[in-house]
Amino acid sequence: MRTVNEISKLTGISVRALHHYDAIGLLKPTRVTEAGYRLYDGAALKRLQNILFFRELQFPLKEIKVILDNPRFDPGEALAQQIKLLELRRKHIDELISFAREVQKGGTDIMNFDAFQKTEFDRYAEEAREKWGTTKAYAEYEQKRKGRTEEEMKTAADRMMALFAELGSLREHSPADREVQEKIEELQAWITENYYHCTDEILSGLGQMYAGDERMKHNIDQAGGEGTAEFASRAVAVYCSGRRE
């Protein structure tokens, strides 16, 4: 077993990032001691290795969790895909370097954007997502996305941010206040209608991500004001715990 500090030194991943991975369910410690120390075994290290490979390939943490939690996930096959993606990425970088040298030699008037295209890489990455990211919720989201225009998807996303703005206006209240809880219920219904069936379990996981995922936190705080993401996370926790009683 290794401590979180040992894992951090071994991998170069910060302790804060490892705590975040734990909070969103991406990498749970194998055991937590009575003193609160997180301990990781070999299986956890193998999962972390997969996480780092996917992160290097710029997969979002949410997608990585879906992929690794898929019961059909095959580490060997996934590694082969990761190698292929890394090779495509290296090829792309080599082409960019060659093009940059051409520009350097010939002056800045060279106008050719072929080197910036990542079509092959993007197509192969999408295949990996489709193969492993096949939870029921993900499949439902993909089905709804295919049946909508970009404008319709943007409208849905804008309404989601509007809901967070409304939550932000209530952040001086208790997360357990009826008005706040009604807003969480509305949020859950909106996700179900526009993205996938948002069970209490899924909503609970989303609530943790609102405060734990830096990008989500930034976007939510931008919509509702500083502290909205943390407030929404607490309100979701109250809502879901009340539903379990």
More confident site: 169 or 142: 169
Q: Is the pLDDT of residue 101 over 80?
A: no
Is residue 43 within 8 Å of residue 52, measured between CB atoms? no
**pLDDT tens-digit profile of 185-230?**
999 998 888 887 888 888 888 888 888 777 788 888 988 999 999 9
Q: What pLDDT band is residue 105 in, cutting at 50, 70 and 90? A: confident
- Of the candidates 225, 211, 118, 213, which has an alpha carbon nearest to the alpha carbon of residue 169? 225
Report strand pairing: 2-3 vs 31-32. unpaired
Q: Please name the amino acid found at residue 102.
A: E
Q: How far apart are CA 208 and CA 222, in angstroms?
A: 18
Is residue 228 within 8 Å of residue 167, measured between CB atoms? yes
Q: Is the pLDDT of residue 243 over 70?
A: no
Question: Measured at the alpha carbon of residue 98, what is the angle toward residues 94 and 103, in degrees to the nearest 5?
Answer: 145
Model pLDDT, residue 245: 42
Q: Is the pLDDT of residue 148 over 80?
A: no
